[in-house]
A and B are shown apart, each in its own frame.
Chain A
Amino acid sequence: QKEVEQNSGPLSVPEGAIASLNCTYSDRGSQSFFWYRQYSGKSPELIMSIYSNGDKEDGRFTAQLNKASQYVSLLIRDSQPSDSATYLCAGESGSARQLTFGSGTQLTVLP
């Protein structure tokens, strides 16, 4: 079992809709979680971090963490075609608490 699992998708939503991306993790000791966005042919870039149970909002993005269920999600409201990218969920794990990435979910926002 991978330490961080994502529904690999692909996921397509119409412009203006809410896109919901999900992630589960296996290391109960993980405390920090991150969502990275990667455009095709580019490098990953951090868009959200979350450390506590509950929701964290930043503009159109909301990250949700449920440590009891070992579940992390990212909601993108009012999706735009420019949001089309692969979204990588990451959590810190291992003895050195290094960042482990999920396989990513490819999101396409249709105009």
Chain B
Amino acid sequence: DAGVIQSPRHEVTEMGQEVTLRCKPISGHNSLFWYRQTMMRGLELLIYFNNNVPIDDSGMPEDRFSAKMPNASFSTLKIQPSEPRDSAVYFCASSLGAVNTGELFFGEGSRLTVL
């Protein structure tokens, strides 16, 4: 199995630009998570999907952030417009079943730098 695949691995953009991060979960996993990691705030959950349906988006910072999961094999996290404080590593993770009964498998992350 190829694992969780994220793209792009690195993104450098200017303030105000739209950023789209992509994720392909492990086949057969029915839960997908978007996390953001910074030195100051650690690893924060942004949004959690189960069977393609958003279950908890309370971690999404503000209206500039949106996430979609149109099918079981693809999800996007979009930031529009981007700001320098959005600079972080964004991880996508998937799991088989409920999170409290299994492990999360993380992608390699997308490192975002907003200038």
Q: How large is the interface on A (under 10, 10 to 19, 20 to 34, 35 or more residues)?
A: 20 to 34
Binding site for A on B (CB under 8 A): 33, 35, 42-45, 48, 55-56, 58, 91, 98-101, 103-104, 106-109
Q: A43-B91, A45-B106, A46-B104 are in contact. Are A98 and B43 (CB under 8 A)?
A: no
B45 touches which of A42, A88, A98 (Cβ 8 Å): A98
Q: Provide 6 A-B residue pairs closer than 8 Å at the C-beta atoms, listed in order of the A residue.
A: A32-B101, A34-B103, A46-B103, A92-B99, A94-B56, A101-B44
B42 to chain A, nearest CB (A): 4
State the total of A-B contacts with C-beta under 8 angstroms: 51
Bound CA span A103–B33, Å? 18
Q: A residues within 8 A CB of B45?
A: 98-100
B2 to chain A, nearest CB (A): 14
Binding site for B on A (CB under 8 A): 31-32, 34, 42-46, 49, 88, 92, 94-104
Complex: chain A residue closest to B59, CB-CB: A98
Q: Are B106 and A44 in contact (CB under 8 A)?
A: yes
Q: Are B99 and A97 in contact (CB under 8 A)?
A: yes
Q: A residues within 8 A CB of B100?
A: 31-32, 92, 97, 99
B21 to chain A, nearest CB (A): 14
Q: Are B106 and A43 in contact (CB under 8 A)?
A: yes
A46 to chain B, nearest CB (A): 4
B51 to chain A, nearest CB (A): 13
Q: Are A96 and B48 in contact (CB under 8 A)?
A: yes
